[in-house]
A and B are shown apart, each in its own frame.
Chain A
Amino acid sequence: MAVIELPRLCDRAAALALKGDLADTTGSEALQVHAGKVERMSMAMLQVLLAAHRNEPGIVLTERSSEFDRSLAVSGLTETFNTGAAA
Chain B
Amino acid sequence: MNGIDIQAIFFDECEESLQAAEAGLDACKAGTQDGETINAIFRAVHSIKGGAGAFGYEALASYTHVFENLLGDVREGTVPVTSDLVDMLLLALDCLRDHVESVRAGTPAPDDEAIKVRLTEARENVGKDGGAATEAAAPEPAAPEPAAASASADTDDLDALLDDLLGSYPAPAAEIPAEETADESASAEEDGDEDWALYVCPQAGAMENGSEPLLWLRELVELGGACVKCDESILPQIDEMDPKEGYLAWTFAMPASVERDKVADIFDFVGEQCLVLYGDEALTPPARERKVTALEAKAPPVATAVAAAKPEATAAPAQTPPPAAQASQSIRIDLGKLDQLIDGVGELVIAQAMLAQRLSNEGLAHFEELAMLEGLVRDIQERAMAFRAQPISSVFSRVPRLLRELASSTGKHVKLVVAGETTELDKTVIERLSEPLTHLIRNAVDHGIESAEDRQAVGKDPEGTLTLSAEQKAGRIVIRIGDDGGGINREKVLAKAIEKGIVDSEMHNLSDEEIDNLIFAPGFSTAAQVSSISGRGVGMDVVRQNVKELGGRITIESRPGQGTDFVLALPLTLAISDGMIVQVGDQSLVIPLTHVVESLSPAETEIKGLGRKIRMLNVRGQFLPIVPLRQLTGGPRAETNAETNMENGVLVVVETERCGQAALLVDAIIDQRQFVIKSLDTHYRSVDGVAGATILGNGRVALIVDVDRLVLDMANRPQAPAEAA
Q: Which of A's residues lie within 8 Å of B, judged by CB?
A: 12, 15-16, 19, 22-23, 41-48, 50-52, 54-55, 70-71, 73-77, 80
Contacts and interface: CB of A to CB of B under 8 A. Distances in A.
Nearest to B202: A43
A47 B214 CA distance: 11
Point out which of A41, A74, A80 has the most chain B C-beta atoms below 10 A from its C-beta: A74
Given A12-B243, A48-B241, A76-B228, 8 more contacts: A22-B238, A43-B213, A51-B237, A52-B238, A75-B227, A76-B230, A77-B230, A80-B230
A19 B238 contact: yes
B269 interface: no
B244 A43 contact: no
26 contacts: A12-B244, A22-B238, A23-B239, A42-B214, A43-B206, A43-B207, A43-B213, A43-B248, A46-B214, A47-B235, A47-B248, A48-B241, A50-B235, A50-B248, A51-B237, A51-B241, A52-B238, A54-B235, A55-B238, A73-B221, A74-B217, A74-B218, A74-B221, A75-B214, A75-B227, A80-B230
B214 to A, nearest CB: 5
B243 A19 contact: yes
Given A12-B207, A42-B207, A77-B230, A48 B214 contact: no
A50 B232 contact: yes
Nearest to B239: A23
A54 B246 CA distance: 17
B230 A48 contact: no
A76 B244 CA distance: 20
Contacts of B214: 41-43, 46, 71, 74-75
A76 B232 CA distance: 11
Interface in B116-166: none
A22 B241 CA distance: 12
A44 B245 CA distance: 8
A15 B235 CA distance: 15
Interface residues on B, range: 20 to 34
Nearest to B226: A76
Interface string B239-269: 1010110111010000000000000000000
A12 B217 CA distance: 17
B229 interface: yes
A43 B246 contact: yes
Contacts of A15: 243
A75 B235 CA distance: 15
Contact of B247 (A47, A71, A76): A47
B250 A48 contact: no
Contacts of A54: 232, 235
A68 to B, nearest CB: 11
Contacts of B243: 12, 15-16, 19, 44-45, 47-48
Closest 9 CB pairs of A and B: A76-B227, A15-B243, A44-B243, A76-B230, A51-B238, A23-B239, A74-B217, A43-B213, A74-B221
Nearest to B232: A50
Nearest to A53: B238
Contacts of B228: 76
A74 B227 CA distance: 6
B537 interface: no
A54 B232 CA distance: 10
Interface string B186-221: 000000000000000010001100001110011011
B212 A42 contact: yes
B342 to A, nearest CB: 41
Nearest to A48: B243
A43 B244 CA distance: 9
Nearest to A59: B238
B244 A44 contact: yes
Contacts of B238: 19, 22-23, 48, 51-52, 55
B24 to A, nearest CB: 40
B236 interface: yes
A51 B207 contact: no
A4 to B, nearest CB: 13
A43 B207 CA distance: 8
A75 B217 contact: yes
B217 A46 contact: no
A47 B206 CA distance: 14
B218 A70 contact: yes
Contacts of A19: 238, 241, 243
Given A12-B244, A48-B241, A76 B229 contact: yes
Nearest to A19: B243
Point out which of B229, B232, B246 has the most chain A C-beta atoms below 10 A from its C-beta: B232
A41 to B, nearest CB: 6
Nearest to A25: B238
A73 B220 CA distance: 12
Contact of B237 (A12, A43, A55, A74): A55
Nearest to A80: B230
Contacts of A23: 238-239
B207 A46 contact: no
Contacts of A16: 243-244
